[in-house]
Amino acid sequence: MEPNKEIKIAIVHDFLVQYGGAERVLEVLAEMYPEAPIYTLLYDKEKMRGKFSDKVVFTSFLQKFPKFLRQRYRYLLPLMPTAPETFDLREFDLVISSSGAWSKGIVTRLNTMHVAYIHSPMRFAWDYNEKYLQENRKERVAFLVRPILNYLRLWDKAAADRPDYLIANSKYTQARIKKYYGRESVVVYPPIDLKSEIRNPKSETNLNNQIQNLKQTKNQEPKTKNYFLVVSRLSAYKKIDVVIEAFNKLESPLVIIGEGPQAKYLRKIANKNIRFLGWQSDEKIREYYAGARAFIFPSVDDFGMAPVEAMSFGTPVLAIREGGAKEIVIEGRTGEFFDAATPEVIADGVRRLVENEKNYDKNVITNRAREFDKERFKKEFTEYVDSILEAKL
């Protein structure tokens, strides 16, 4: 790379088919590198609800499949390893991949610097392998799943060797990268937009009206700070069903925000004290963060942006004592942990959290959230990328 040359940058992301934590990171990367086009395997403009509509987005050959297949893209699984390898990235000096599975597998020319931000090693091929097999055992093609997963593990290991540098989104992810890929990485925690700290008293009044149908007990209507909150994609590995079973027993108000394949099933097993709101705008989610008594986080995630967002309002978090949550929650000060994702253990965690409520200091919780803010991410990420570019010059 020539000194003083204007560097051409591209960003590669797995999918733009839902808006979650990885897409929030991508949004900030696109903000940091506004001229960089985005390459992605699939792009569903409708489901992205206008996100990235102002960016130049290139898709893979998978985008040419019929819509019904693109919306059920797990059936395209055997083709996905090939898709990122077909992107033509020859004109770029720096490629940043935002990868939970596929985008780190791009092929770049020798002089192109490839920095991969790893949200997670391919979870369903490694940690979630047997559970994924169980979930697909009733499918007609279930007998093909195991050999496909074996192939994907081989591909994933080879693909992880392609980036020049790896950045992990947590120490937990860093350890998994070392275990599965045998590679070193640096940790840069994801960016949390702490605009959510600002409260609107009128919003909280509206919130009281919206949740008035929830009952904490038979004779008492809840007020703000009496309901518990889950904000999550409604997928099996998120363990929302276990939270529902716990709150069915507790009979305490629970609000669930999010979409996903388990939505219909979860609604079916929930009692009347549990309310589903589906997709909500960022502004509306902030209102619910502000009004929640506590945020419930039951899944083993590599980081977990939603708990930090909740904490930015001074809302305590009840989380499983695994994964990235251990790097976020300070036990007894910003929330509590539970040790197993079972209804009984979660219910016990809720009781302990309620008993300890008087010891939570809103300012302590909010200040903890500030340690993960967006500007910190921009600074750490930019400094790291600049340092490796300077070393190459």
Length of the chain: 393
Percent of the chain with pLDDT over 70: 86
CATH fit for domain 9-191+373-392, picks 1.10.890, 3.40.50, 2.30.29, 3.30.70: 3.40.50
- Phi/psi for 318 (5° steps) reads -110, 115
Domain regions of the chain by residue span: 9-191+373-392, 194-370
What is 194-370's CATH number?
3.40.50.2000
Quick one: tokens of 146? 């195991």
Which of 332, 213, 324, 216 has the alpha carbon at shortest distance from 275?
213
Looking up tokens 């490694």 gives 126
Query: Matching CATH topology for 9-191+373-392 and 194-370?
Result: yes
- What distance in Å separates the CA atoms of residue 51 and residue 42, rounded to the nearest whole number? 14
| Predicted local confidence at residue 109, as pLDDT | 95
Contact 208, 227 (CB under 8 A): no
Confidence of residue 5 (pLDDT cuts 50, 70, 90): low
Which of 220, 274, 269 has the alpha carbon at shortest distance from 247?
274
With 0-12 / 13-18 / 19 or more C-beta atoms within 10 angstroms meaning exposed / middle / buried, residue 235 is middle
**Longest Cα separation, the chain:** 73
Q: Write the pLDDT tens digit of every residue in 93-124.
A: 999 999 999 999 999 999 999 999 999 998 87
Q: Where are the beta strands (DSSP E) in the chain?
A: 9-16, 38-43, 57-59, 94-99, 113-118, 165-168, 186-187, 228-231, 254-257, 274-278, 294-297, 317-320, 335-338
196/58: higher pLDDT: 58
- What distance in Å separates the CA atoms of residue 247 and residue 232, rounded to the nearest whole number? 16
Q: Residue 192 has what DSSP assignment?
A: B
In single-letter form, the type of residue at position 202 comes to: K
Q: What pTM, to 2 d.p., does this model score?
A: 0.86
**For residue 83, what are the CA distances in angstroms to 121, 246, 250?**
18, 42, 47
Q: Write the pLDDT tens digit of every residue in 253-276.
A: 999 999 999 999 999 999 999 999
Which of 247, 235, 81, 70 has the alpha carbon at shortest distance from 151?
81
Strand partners, 217: 220
- What is the rounded average pLDDT for all residues in the chain? 88
Q: Write the pLDDT tens digit of every residue in 343-369.
A: 999 999 999 999 999 999 999 999 999
Q: Write the pLDDT tens digit of every residue in 270-284.
A: 999 999 999 999 899
Q: Residue 64 has what DSSP assignment?
A: G
